[in-house]
Amino acid sequence: MTRIDGIIILDTNGKPLISSHFPQHPPSYATSHIDTFNHALKVAQASPSTSSSTKAELEPILWVNALSRGAAGVGMGGAGLCHVEREGLRFLVPVGRELNPLFAFAFLDSFLETLTEYLGEVTEASIKENFDIVYMLIEEMLDEGHPMTMETNMLKEIVLPPTLMRKLLSAAGVSSIQSPASAPFTAPIPWRKPNVRHSNNEIYFDVEESLDAIIDRKGNLLSSSITGRINCNSRLSGNPDLLLNFGNAKVMTDCGFHPCIRYNRWERDHVLSFIPPDGKFRLLEYQTDTSIGRAQLPLQLKASMSIEDYGGKFSLTLTSRTNARPIEDIVISIHLGQGTSSVSATATGDKRMPGVNSGGLARREENAAEGGVGGGTWEFDPHTQVLRWRLASLTATERAPSLTGSFTSTAQHPVPSPSFDLAFLIQHQTFSGLRIDQLKVAGDVMYKPFKGVKVASKAGRYEVRW
């Protein structure tokens, strides 16, 4: 039967921080995968075919020749090596050749979400500080190569999260005391521990959509897609049976559900029927088939750039196409190429009172460019050769802000990135128009919970070519 062999975590220098046991393989098995990955990464970063304006990329799946044990003894074999990068750390998962690699990537995604839930930020320092917890999580989540306990609520009954009291007990040499709650594997609902009690019964839904788009130099939309997710924070007592209704559920396609959702009810009525886990969890991920035309794009960026010897010139003009809501936290960035040494630019826009954004809300903006807060601020990082133009907010009623300037480079023929990257946030609005209408509560409960809904839209991979 196919299985995941284990997991290896490498630090920023490519040295192993944590490596799970590989009892079915020779001792050199993990080392072979680490050496193969580090060699492939070094070759990819040093490859002359890698563009100077983009980050070095590595194939997500590598083939590793390694010793393996079989019926005939130890011999040469091989395995696929799936890997992801987070905060400079590399997470490696060796798998057998018969296993679908998406299975390994799905496990890695769940494992990283669990680490984030336990440690807050998944960094080298946090992992070193909580070695014992990370090892125990690996043992519980991966049972002899098969994903086992994946629900955070159940894991917290087995592996206590890091707390100050736990650290003090560990430093004093006292073993942690487990709560007297019933064993998680005897719970009637696998994702929810029994006898949950809260003084205030409330549940919050956070709907977030992300827009990926590529726009050519003439403003034509080349491709676009919308993905969304609904995150929940449930603080409900007992075993509430919830029924969540949407105003236009049919805009959601290719949905990925939490195991608590009754799939047959969704297929029949397009409503979500479920008993929620306790605490934070991801209820649903989806894509939308709503087509986004050029007139529906929230931002229009007119970008031009001319390349000269040892430098170049650029001009940017930004216009909001959203009448209902202000667009916030706008960041436009571009990699100007290796050798870029300095940038000179001027940002212009509607003048506003300092500390007030375009929606009339108080907001401090330091180092504002001369010409008004509406023009935003810009900065150039000489280490990464990235120019960033930031605006606190923008509405369709104000004059379009612009950024014009030039840059110098030590390279005679600079090679900047072929596109500008946009990031933005629109509160209280979704691209697809999805909305939550009603929440009904049944089951063995006698209360009416407080329901909170928050929606927001943001840019994913939003590129504008010049």
Q: For the CA atoms of the chain, what is the radius of gyration?
A: 26
Show pLDDT as tens, one digit a residue, over the chain (466 residues): 467 888 999 998 889 998 887 777 777 788 888 999 999 988 887 765 444 444 457 888 888 886 655 544 445 567 788 999 988 899 999 887 677 888 889 889 889 988 988 888 888 888 888 888 898 888 888 877 778 877 777 787 788 787 655 666 666 665 544 444 444 445 577 788 788 899 999 999 999 999 999 999 888 888 889 999 999 999 999 889 999 999 888 889 999 999 899 999 999 999 999 999 988 889 999 998 756 544 478 888 999 999 999 999 999 999 998 877 899 999 999 999 888 999 999 998 876 554 444 444 434 344 333 333 568 899 999 988 999 999 999 888 888 999 999 999 999 899 999 999 999 999 998 888 888 999 999 877 888 899 999 999 999 999 999 8
78: β partners: 65
Q: Are strands 386-394 and 327-335 parallel, antiparallel or unpaired?
A: antiparallel
Spatial contact of 212 and 228, defined as CB atoms under 8 Å apart: no
Three-state secondary structure call for residue 219: coil
| CA neighbor of 135 nearest in space, from 153, 154, 158 | 158
Cβ-proximal residues to 315 (8 Å cutoff; 6+ apart), any chain: 302, 303, 304, 305, 402, 403, 404
Q: Strands 327-335 and 142-143: what pairing?
A: unpaired
Residue type, 109: D
Token pair for 189: 């609902």
Reported as half-sphere exposure (CB side, CA atoms, 13 A), residue 53 has a value of: 16
List all residues 6 or more positions away from 46 whose beta carbon is below 8 Å from its beta carbon: none
Q: Which domains does the chain have, with CATH numbers?
A: 8-186 (3.30.450.60), 202-293+431-465 (2.60.40.1170), 299-425 (2.60.40.1170)
Residue 234 and residue 283: Cα distance in Å, rounded? 11
Is the torsion defined by CA of 182, 188, 192, 197 positive or negative?
negative
CA separation for the pair 382, 371 (Å, rounded): 25
CA–CA separation, 219 and 227 (whole Å) = 22
Structure tokens at 455: 């929606």
